[in-house]
Structure 1
């Protein structure tokens, strides 16, 4: 049995800035369009106006589009996961902060699919204002069990899929019922329970508690060699006759090199209503 402890949650985002190769984004034209968009940002503030939607662009000095203002656009262009709107010659705005007239977000989606946030009880999932937002700039969270409508899909610079369920509200697809990865038979996991507490070990999936009683604390890391699903709950085998409840673990192959986009039980800025 192999286990280790992370010193802090901060270590989980270490790898996000290591080995990340950001290539020049190549834009392609979306079907030519025109209409009206409204800025959705922070009351009293505005968003930048750019000279181009491409990666080597720069903001136009002295130009801001205030929250709540409406603007006509004459064209759109897709660059990476973002849609940009042309509001004038060489004047482009980031569609992540715009709402099309007559829609509830940056684009209308017919027959929007409904899903639920699926994560560890007592913890919360980060809400990203754009697919490319870095984890350290996430300040709002949504709790497990919340039902959302998938209004749009997108990908971040690493190719990971996200779902948009509201204006400037994106969540990682893997933290939803619709996008949850299949349960693995082997791999690495980390325990996430109440900080300062642990989860009990059982002799078999949903079986008797192992004697003498053993607990493993939050943030403890294990390699698991088997898994099973009992009445919808995943269980993971961490050693001979040692199984732990999968509802309180996160399974990944890069525990110390990939952030988990989560909020702890101490976070109170949760978006309960989706």
Structure 2
């Protein structure tokens, strides 16, 4: 064998050995992202998290970041390091592949376009939207559903005993902060009892507590009116009523919707504040079986302060059916309230139970409302 040929063979052999040594030393094998890209779900121990690592040179280093069991993450690539397979979940962020399984979207039930949810959280705020059902999952960046808004439901799932609604592609909200319903009719009269703020408990300035009682009694339990009026949150409690419910002494305004909703939870946690709801949303709530308490005008007032609470209990052909507690009896008709004191009908002495067209309602309603799930 000539000298040149021997040198070539020796060079090739040394290159092979060097390559083998590099493989054994580093133990790394990168796989292109296109070969493994998928949505992965952390599969570990419920309530616990897996560690995220960084790849540095020939090994891995722990980071402070953790991924909670059940959460979803995009997998961009994989590589083997010292015999352990890792998945890349973005940038230099790697997790052990044994704790990631391919996420398979659940079957979504067929919906007929008649199911809705209305956000019932807190006035002026919105609720977060998740990319998948479950509190540990990734939020939809920058998307919040404002209080009082209504959204069509396209899917529903149970996760850890809690109901989640899909309101758009990969957009999920928890049932805790929404009021669900399905519209199956174009008109409805709900079986909400009429309750007077004059009898059996005489509270001329107690419309809020009385209207709240109607709302709660619709679903239960039956509340004691005396207890309701005696314990109504009062000023200076935040949002409390200013002025005695029995005598009117010091009256300035009724309890606001936030304080009244919180007060209602003493009897029923399903009462929700839907302040911000527009008229269409209120109509949908009523059509899906949810009476609505709103703040409007009384038959006695001459100002434009919305210091009176009433309850919408029905809808038909562009009209709301309303219970006004400011009468002695459910049979009291138009003109039997404030007209007798004012000497004229201010436009809101319509009787204990009456129909109001949406145009008139829109003039009275300014956005403060409550309902019950």
TM-score, L = length of structure 1: 0.36
Identify which of structures 1 and 2 has the higher relative contact order when contacts are C-alpha pairs closer than 8 Å and 6+ apart: 1
| Between structures 1 and 2, the one with greater helix share | 2
Structure having the higher strand fraction is 1
